[in-house]
Structure formats: structure tokens, C-alpha cells
Amino acid sequence: MNPPHLRSSDDDTLGEHTPSLELKTSADGSFSAYNAVFDECYHSLKDGALQESLYKHIIPAFSACENLENMRILDICFGLGYNTLASLYYRQIHILPMNLHIYSPELDGSLLTNLIDFPYPEEFSHLPLREIVCALRDRGIYEDAHTHIEVRLIDAREYVRQLPTESIDVVYQDAFSPKKNPELWSEEYFAQLYRILAPNGILTTYSQSAAIRKNALACGFVVYDCVHNEGLVRGGSVMSKHELALPHYRLKRYGTP
């Protein structure tokens, strides 16, 4: 499957090395990092970087789209790469016969250089981590027989506007918090996410903010409070264009008693 057609950008070249990441240990033992520009960590240290990625994004997404031969994922934003790598890990451990096509915008051009030796969790040890990160750093694309990962140095709002209508099956809406990064939680932004999402697609996010849920509702999304049955992490939200039922999760439609 070819990637969605995108217009070229003068900013597509990944940037130069800057000082190393300030690592933070999270509750599940996996490492996150602190971003000084947004004054936030890339993950919830309380939930755990790996557990947050798996239980708030990957497991809901794959549960909703497990029958797809080709899963098209928009990872907003690439950051430390957890959601992208956890998607590969989940496919690997469950031996899923699907191709993954992952597209991700990222503003920090130095980040991929700093991820070459990032202390990823043991769960990722059977992935070709260095090969993936080096390919993304050098070319912006990693490919193997069943995987296409593409990272572009571009504002996520511009990136989303360039994507064709209904071209994405899964959106990992994992930007910095609405307070720190309001541009990626606005009603205008959610309208674009609604446009690009396939009819049976799903959007996952850690945020339970009433304001962002209202923005999503205004654009046509069906919005749910989403909590894993085992309670390993705090709840998040999932959104779609249709009614959802996810195994292992308690869903409560937002705005209903």
C-alpha cells in the first residue's frame, strides 16, 4: 500500500543533534523524558510510559481494527516513538498477519538522533530498534516486508490538512496536554481528524478533558470514557464515527447518564 499523498515541505529534513534527553523513570520502570519547550514529560510518569502507550492507545486501536489487512496509523506526534514501536511489538507478540503503515509528524528535528541509544523497555528488545531509528533519522522512512514508518519534520496541523479524506484507520492523539499545546486540541483540529478518519476507524487519547471532548463532539465524533478492566492505568478517551465496543474495556459514552 502506498502512503497517503503529501505535498513536499521545505522543512522535511531532520535537524541536527542537540543536548541529550533528560530521562525520567516512570511508574512501570520504563523511561520517559522531559521536554523543556512544553515543560512536560512525554508520558504520564504515574501511569508508566509503556503501560500508558499500550493500554490507552495500542490495545484499544488493535481491538477495533484487528481484522484489517493493512492498518494505517497516524501517530501524533512521534516523540520518543513509544506508540509506533509498541504497535510493532503488539503485532509481533500476537502474531497478527497485518501490514502496518505508520505516519507521524514531529517538530523536534534533533529528537531522532537522541533516540539512537534511548533505554527502551525490554519488551521492545526483539524489534530492530537501532535500524528503525537510524533509518528514520537519516531518511525519514523505515520499511520492511510488512511495515512502513514515515516521520516528517512538520507542524502536525499542516500534516493532517495534507492527508486525504478517510485515509487513516487509527489516530493516536498523543500531543502534549491541552494546556501546553492547545493548537492540537482545538475544534478546527478535530474537524480535520474526523475528515481523515476511515468510517470504521478509531481515535485514542489519554485526555479526559471535558473541553476537548466537546470539541470532538462538535465535529461529529462519538466520544467515550475508556477504562481498562484491570485498572492498570487511569482512564482515557476513545472516539469514532460509529458505536464502539472494545474487549477488556469499560466504555461510557460521553454526555450520557
| Cis amide bond preceding 77, omega within 30 | yes
Q: 131: burial class by Cβ within 10 Å (0-12, 13-18, 19+)? A: exposed
Could you tell me which residues are beta bridge partners of residue 35? Answer: 40
pLDDT at 82: 98
pLDDT at 19: 55
- How is the beta sheet containing 236-240 ordered, strand by strand? 141-144, 147-153, 99-106, 70-76, 168-173, 197-205, 236-240, 222-228, 249-253
Provide the residue ranges of all domains of the chain, joining segments of one domain with +.
47-253
pLDDT at 11: 40
Per-residue confidence in pLDDT tens, the chain, 257 aa: 444 543 333 344 343 434 578 999 999 999 999 999 999 999 999 999 999 999 999 999 999 998 999 999 999 999 999 999 999 999 999 999 999 999 999 999 889 999 999 999 999 999 999 999 999 999 999 999 999 999 999 999 999 999 999 999 999 999 999 999 999 999 999 999 999 999 999 999 999 999 999 999 999 999 999 999 998 899 999 999 999 999 999 999 997 65
Collapsing DSSP states into helix, strand and coil, what is residue 90? helix
Q: 83: burial class by Cβ within 10 Å (0-12, 13-18, 19+)? A: buried
Using alpha carbons, list the distances in angstroms from residue 115 to 44, 52, 110, 118, 144: 19, 19, 9, 5, 20
CATH number of the 47-253 domain: 3.40.50.150
CB 216, CB 192: distance < 8 Å: no
* pTM given for the model: 0.91
Q: Under 8 Å CB-to-CB from 22, ≥6 apart: which residues? A: 33, 34, 36
- Residue-by-residue DSSP string for 147-183: EEEEEEES-HHHHHHHSPTT-EEEEEE-PSPTTT-GG
pLDDT at 72: 98
